[in-house]
Amino acid sequence: MQWDFIIATAVNLSINLAYTLLALFIGVKALLVIDEKLLKNMSIEEELQKGNVAVAIFASSILVFVALIVTFGFKG
């Protein structure tokens, strides 16, 4: 009985890890697309290197919202 629980836990952990990595990839890709297509006059990376806190908050909020959308999509 104990081995069944351990195997089920390991499978569940690996599935959640795969979902996490996929969500991270999608979030970063979405941020790069937004930087390239929507913000043509400024670069998020350059502004972050200058220390612009507003851009850091904007980028992190995009990542949070993409992660929420992807998470609800996986549960759905």
pLDDT at 53 (0 to 100): 93
Mean predicted confidence (pLDDT) in 21-39: 82
Output the six-digit token pair for 11. Answer: 């499978």
Residues across the chain:
76
CB-CB contact of 31 with 63 (8 Å):
yes
Band (7; pLDDT cuts 50, 70, 90) = very high
Summary mean pLDDT of the chain: 83
Mean pLDDT of 16-43: 82
Task: Find, among 24, 29, 32, 34, the residue nearest to 64 by Cα.
Answer: 24
The owner of tokens 């043509």 is 40
For residue 20, give both structure tokens. Answer: 């996490």
Predicted confidence (pLDDT) per residue in 42-56, tens digit: 888 888 899 999 988
Whether the predicted pLDDT of 76 surpasses 60: no
Q: Is the Cα torsion angle 25, 67, 76, 7 positive or negative in sign?
A: positive
Give residue 75's pLDDT.
Answer: 65
